[in-house]
Structure 1
Amino acid sequence: MQNVVAINAAAEQGIITAQATSDEMLLDSIADGDRTSMHVLYSRHNVRVYRFILRMVRDTALAEDLASQVFLDVWRTADQFEGRSQVSTWLLSIARFKALTALRQRRHEDIDQEEMLEIADHGETPEASLDRSSTSAILRACVAKLSPAHREIINLVYYHEKSVEEVGKIIGIPPSTVKTRMFYARKQLAELLKGAGIDSLAA
């Protein structure tokens, strides 16, 4: 009985320790080959990384594959993290690079991304049709109609809650350019929402 109590206490302590460990500390351990730290980092960020990629590639199987590649890269290159940004920002930078590479490889069909989105909209499922009655579904539909550059900004700021500086690091552009794109993205989105029957978007 005492052994069971001791094991449970150790397990609870392990959970607490994992929760209290920063992403930076986890990367240090991963660089030393610690698989447990890799599992903890993966469990913290895999859903966010997957959703970020999915919004770019719009293919669940491809998004899952690319997300796995991101964390495989982390396992291999954890020692290259220089700490100049948050770990989550670094992860999304890797994810963005992989998603853009995958999109470039698919463009041999000579169909631009906007046309692909319009084609996808016509193949709506019954569930998606029902969803369109909700504000969130209308918002997602309007975001999908933005240009790729503006959609990317909205995605990072609103869905991933990244600051202007972090967005700049992920995309590789100056903060001033991020602000400019954000201004026009919000303006275009407001017009789309108005056309869809929503007068304003909360800041």
Structure 2
Amino acid sequence: MDTHADGEIIRRIAGGDKAAMMTLYQRHHLRVFRFLVRMVRNEATAEELVSDVFLDVWRQAGTFEGRSSATTWLLGVARFKALSHLRRRTTAPLDDAFAETLEDDADDPEVVAQKTDKAAIMRACLGRLSLEHREVIDLVYYHEQGVDEVARVLGIPANTVKTRLFHARKRLAGLLAEAGVDRGWP
């Protein structure tokens, strides 16, 4: 994607250009959605947050200064939305009647097959990382952001990104080893 073109699109959005907004949405909504799903761990919530992100983009396009790429800016807005959602989320107590209707799928053959699937094991191990480590891994490996861009998205120093990345990799390697996955992937 052309980052210069994205900057121009955002300037057009700031001027009220709805077609430019659709273009930006089409270019970036999937990336933003995937980032949000990994943060909030719920597709429906992520879809709602994507709408909120792009609504904020429409309202705040004039504040985009172009010091970072549009992707970095969008992921920064998405991260803020996800963290806000996670802070206000409350856990409702589990109703006993509802709990009795839940099936125990611990020994289900499908679950056993998923445990042998390396990709499923990787996702499970990623899910066990702290939010800070998951964010860094997600941005670097899934969104192909550099250390400086990750620092801008997260609002932390680049050296902190490097430190988190180091510890995230180390923790992930340990989790994968516990799960019986070697470093080699087919």
TM bracket, shorter-chain basis: 0.7 to 0.9
Q: Unaligned regions of 5+ residues in structure 1, if any?
A: 1-18, 111-121
Percent sequence identity over aligned pairs: 52
Q: Deviation string for 1:23-72 (max 9, x for gaps)?
A: 11111111111111111110010011111111111122211111001001
Q: Deviation string for 1:70-115 (max 9, x for gaps)?
A: 00111111111001110000000000001000100014669xxxxx
Select which of 129, 133, 143 maps to 2:126: 143
Distance 2:184 2:66 in 1: 35
Give me the TM-score of the superposition, normalised by structure 2.
0.84
SS across alignment from 1:173: coil
Runs of 4+ in 1 over 4 A off after TM superposition: 107-110, 122-129
Asked if 1:29 corresponds to 2:16, the answer is no
Give the equivalent residue in structure 2 for 1:10. Answer: none
Give the equivalent residue in structure 1 for 2:83. Answer: 100
Distance 2:111 2:145 in 1: 28
Asked if 1:45 corresponds to 2:28, the answer is yes
Q: Deviation string for 1:127-174 (max 9, x for gaps)?
A: 665444322111111111111111111111111111110111111110
Q: Where is the helix percentage greater, Structure 1 or Structure 2? A: 1
Give the equivalent residue in structure 1 for 2:37. Answer: 54
Q: Unaligned regions of 5+ residues in structure 2, if any?
A: 94-103
RMSD: 2.6
Distance 1:29 1:49 in 2: 20
Q: Say which is worse superposed, 123-132 or 147-156, in terms of deviation.
A: 123-132
Work out the number of aligned pairs and report it: 174
Larger Rg: 1
Distance 1:173 1:123 in 2: 41
Asked if 1:82 corresponds to 2:68, the answer is no
